[in-house]
Amino acid sequence: MSAEQPKPLVTDLDGTLIPLAEEPANAADLETLRRKLELHRGEIAFATGRHFDSVLRAIDEFQLPTPKWIVCDVGTAVYLSSDDGSFVLAESYRRELLRITEGRDVQSLRSELLRLNPELSLQEEPKQREFKLSFYVDPSRMPAVVGRIHEQLTRLAAPFEIISSLDPWQPRGLIDVIPRGASKASAVTWYAQETKIALEQVVYAGDSGNDLAALVAGCRAILVGNAAPELIAEVQQRHLEADWQERLYVADGKATSGVLEGCYWFGMFPQ
């Protein structure tokens, strides 16, 4: 697609890189992707709503390629690989989030938001992080609740915003309250600036609402075949408005297969 080989591949995990149980081709395509990355010395990174320990478990459980860096907790933490194979928290990115929040603890909003929004239920404690307050909600109620929380955060003058998406594994909505401006997109942009990689050379693969900001940040974007039609339409419209040419690929294949398909289309490596 492009004369200049893109790098790196940044991918969401659940619903995107991780194989779906009902898609038998996914497992084989994951192995193909791993071999292609090794053969062509490709760089892969993960951008996920999972917390760090959950990412490490997923790498082991699904035999995922080893990432060079990991964006966790919906863009509120970045971990960089070190020479010994371990990962270290990127303190400079953390300091940026502390600056945005002016030191205000997002967890301090927990009781007030639960009181004002009885439809919410708190996610498990390991999913509550330094810069992320997370809830479950009935999907049918999510648009109304998200709008209401947005108004409440504005009234409280809280330097936070909302990321919402659907759980790919269970019929429930996910709502995360995170620092204003923080997202998978802000983390990917930060890394590109730190490593002096042009953002348009980054390939980002995703499937859900919490990938939206990254899919329209200026990266080359892969939407896998199981992405919601509404998300596909919005990403297509945003790319059209930005006049980005050939920066979006909507895959036929679902999850892993769609990621591999998009990598071929963007010329990350030959078929």
pLDDT tens digits for range 80-110: 999 898 999 999 999 999 999 998 999 999 9
Count other Cβ atoms within 10 Å, centred on residue 156: 12
Cα 101 to Cα 208: distance, rounded to the nearest angstrom: 26
Task: Tell me the HSE value of 258 on the side-chain side, using a 13 A CA sphere.
Answer: 29
Burial label for 12, CB within 10 Å (0-12, 13-18, 19+), is: buried
Answer whether 45's CB lies under 8 Å from 69's CB.
yes
Cα 56 to Cα 187: distance, rounded to the nearest angstrom: 19
| The domains spanning 9-95+182-265 and 103-179 adopt the same CATH topology | no
In the numeric block, the tokens 């084989």 are attached to: 28
Its sign, for the CA torsion 72, 56, 10, 168, is negative
Count other Cβ atoms within 10 Å, centred on residue 181: 15
Containing H/E element for 116? helix 110-116
Q: Could you tell me which of 189, 186, 184, 190 has the C-alpha nearest to residue 208?
A: 184
Regions of the chain short of the pLDDT cut 70: 1-5
Top-level class of domain 103-179:
alpha beta
Max intra-chain CA distance, the chain: 55
DSSP string, 150-172: HHHHHHTT-SEEEEEEE-SSSS-
Model pLDDT, residue 4: 62
Answer whether 176's CB lies under 8 Å from 49's CB.
yes
In the numeric block, the tokens 């609402």 are attached to: 209
Cα 153 to Cα 124: distance, rounded to the nearest angstrom: 22
| φ, ψ of residue 151 in degrees (nearest 5) | -65, -40
Annotated domain spans of the chain = 9-95+182-265, 103-179
Q: What does the block give as tokens for 259?
A: 């990621």
Q: From 1.10.10.10, 3.30.160.270, 3.40.50.80, 3.40.50.1000, which CATH number describes the 9-95+182-265 domain?
A: 3.40.50.1000
Cα 67 to Cα 104: distance, rounded to the nearest angstrom: 31
Model pLDDT, residue 2: 47
